[in-house]
Copies of this chain bind each other. A is one copy, B any other.
Amino acid sequence: MQRLALSQEDKQVRDWFIETTKALKCEVTVDEMGNIFAVRPGRRTDVPPTFIGSHLDTQPTGGRYDGILGVLSGIETLKVIDEMGLETEGGIGVVNWTNEEGARFPISMVSSGVWAECIPLERAHGLKEVPTVASLPTASSAPESMKSALEKINYLGSVPCSYKQTPMAAHFELHIEQGPHLISAGQHVGVVTAVQAYRWFHLTIFGRDTHTGTTAFEHRADALYAFARMMVRAREVASSHGCLASVGIVEAKPGSVNTVPGTVSFTLDIRGPESELVQVVEDQLRKEFDSIAAEEGKGIGKPCRVEWTLDFDSPAVKFHPDCIECVQQSAEAVVSDVNAAEPKSLMRTIMSGAGHDSVFTSKRVPTSMIFVPCKDGLSHHPEEFCSADDCATGASVILQAVIRYDRKRFSK
């Protein structure tokens, strides 16, 4: 699946989303970030709705579940509620967040971030598409801004993008785990209690372009060799602190077979269970990258040097106990329907390794998530897969969770 945010393919699925939810008696609004909110009204109109949300955009070589399962489970929930003639006190909404992946416009969860008033609208609107996304015809010549991309597909809404303008009682999100824990333990549901911390950086190493055939190793300031040593070291350092460190994008200039690259830019993604651990890894890597750079090019001329820029900082998140409780109870009810000796062994509490729109909603409203297993723990890949049974289990849990939450808040 390749459905980059605000592409023609994204426009098509958005049109379908609106058509489908309107047919399910929803009121639909689109805000300035193109976030689409579809709300099935409850008995009371003076209270905010309980939302199910996720995203319909994908990575350049993505799968068919990441984000998509969450939105579709919301629509399925609306359908079941409609078919059963269920009435709720507050409304039940489904939201499709724009550009969650950060693949085309390089801040992930940017539109829930603007909604939570954690990211300024102007910064989001001004984001330029990433030029390495080769499939976009505009990317290489004149990168498009997020605002112009919204306009181009007619999804620049007039509603201000803010939790004040579009309030929620709570936000629930169903998602594939994107990791190997559930699948390898043969479990069906993860009750997500927290999200690990992460920081995104881009780094540039400045060395010296020289001829590959005539420059002895000791006279090189090879920015790509320095990069290679840094990447190897980053895994060792992150590992030793129970964290992750990854490079997703690298660019070496000038880019010629027989020229030692004098400039290398790359992204660095550091994650860990606690914000403090991410800081520890960052601090250690800053020191070590400086020494690696200084060692490369000690001969003639100047050695390499490295510069860091922080692009994004997402501290560790703890989800809301009320929402976690609703998910926990719903999961217990759903797995006890399964024919197993010990139904409770089929579920577990779990921490999310990835960021999700729920990270931003959790800053403003009670939030939690549900994970279902995916094949080989694989995600951001065409082979990403979640069985129909597991999808159905997840949808059942989220349906029950929003109903439970609706009851819970009005029985207080």
A381 and B262 contact, CB distance less than 8 A: yes
- The contact string, 1 if C-beta is below 8 Å from chain B, for chain A 232-254, is 10010001000010111110111
A127 CA to B168 CA in the complex, in Å? 59
Select the stretch in A46-54, A99-107, A158-166, A385-393 that faces chain B. A99-107
A244 CA to B220 CA in the complex, in Å? 11
A215 and B59 contact, CB distance less than 8 A: no
A35 CB → nearest B CB, Å: 20
Tell me which residues across on chain B come within 8 A of A352, comparing CB atoms.
Answer: 213-214
Of residues 97 through 153 on chain A, the ones whose CB sits less than 8 Å from some CB of chain B are 101-103, 106, 108, 130, 132-134, 140-141
Select the stretch in A79-87, A203-211, A320-328, A399-407 that faces chain B. A203-211
For A248, give its contact among B102, B246, B248, B258 (CB under 8 Å): B258
A253 CA to B380 CA in the complex, in Å? 12
List the number of copies, as a whole number: 2
Tally of A interface residues using CB under 8 Å: 77
Q: Which residue of B lies closest to A260 (CB)?
A: B246
A254 and B106 contact, CB distance less than 8 A: no
B235 and A225 contact, CB distance less than 8 A: yes
Select the stretch in A22-30, A36-44, A177-185, A283-291 that faces chain B. A177-185
A203 CB → nearest B CB, Å: 12
Tell me which residues across on chain B come within 8 A of A258, comparing CB atoms.
Answer: 101-102, 108, 200, 246, 248, 269, 354-355, 380
B259 and A208 contact, CB distance less than 8 A: no
A311 CA to B257 CA in the complex, in Å? 11
Tell me which residues across on chain B come within 8 A of A256, comparing CB atoms.
Answer: 59-60, 101-103, 130, 248-249, 380
B257 and A211 contact, CB distance less than 8 A: no
A257 and B231 contact, CB distance less than 8 A: no
For A228, give its contact among B108, B222, B228, B377 (CB under 8 Å): B228
| 13 more CB-based (< 8 A) A-B contacts, given A108-B257, A212-B248, A248-B257 | A103-B256, A141-B141, A180-B219, A180-B299, A198-B213, A210-B380, A211-B354, A211-B380, A212-B269, A214-B379, A219-B377, A247-B252, A258-B355
Q: Considering the complex of A and B, which 3 residue pairs feature the smallest CB-CB distances, nearest first?
A: A214-B353, A132-B255, A179-B214
29 A/B residue pairs, CB under 8 Å, sorted by A: A60-B255, A61-B253, A61-B254, A103-B259, A141-B141, A178-B213, A179-B216, A180-B219, A184-B300, A198-B213, A208-B381, A210-B379, A212-B244, A212-B248, A212-B269, A213-B244, A213-B271, A213-B352, A214-B379, A216-B244, A225-B231, A225-B232, A229-B232, A248-B257, A249-B255, A249-B256, A256-B380, A257-B269, A258-B380
